[in-house]
Amino acid sequence: MTQEIIITLIAILFSGFIGLVGYWLKSVYAEFKLLLKELMDYTNKLEQLIVGIQIHIDKAIEEDIREIKTDIKTLYQRTNKHDNQLAALSK
C-alpha cells in the first residue's frame, strides 16, 4: 500500500514536472520567435540603410567625377589659350 502511494506520488510529481518543462519550452519558444522577428526587422532596416548610403556615395562620386572633368576641360582651354598667346609672342 505504501509503495503504491509512493509510486502514485512520483508519477504525479513527474507529470507536473513534465508539464512545467513543456510550459517553459512553449514560453521560451514564443520569446525566441519574437526576438528572432525583431532581429530580422532590425537586419532589414540596416540593409536598407546600407543601400541608401551606397547610393549616396555613388552619387557623390559621380558628382566629383563631373567636377574633375569640368576642371580638366577648363585647364585644357587655359593651356591652349596660353599656348596661342606664347605662339603669338614668339612670332
The continuous run of DSSP H or E covering 41 comes out as helix 2-90
Pairwise CA distance, residues 67 & 62, whole Å: 9
**Three-state DSSP class for 1?**
coil
C-alpha cell at 52: 541608401
What does pLDDT average to in each consecutive run of 10 residues of the chain (91 residues)?
Answer: 89 93 92 96 97 96 96 93 84 71
pTM flag (> 0.85):
no
**pLDDT value, residue 87:** 82
What are the CA-CA distances from residue 77 to residues 19, 89, 90 (Å)? Answer: 87, 18, 20
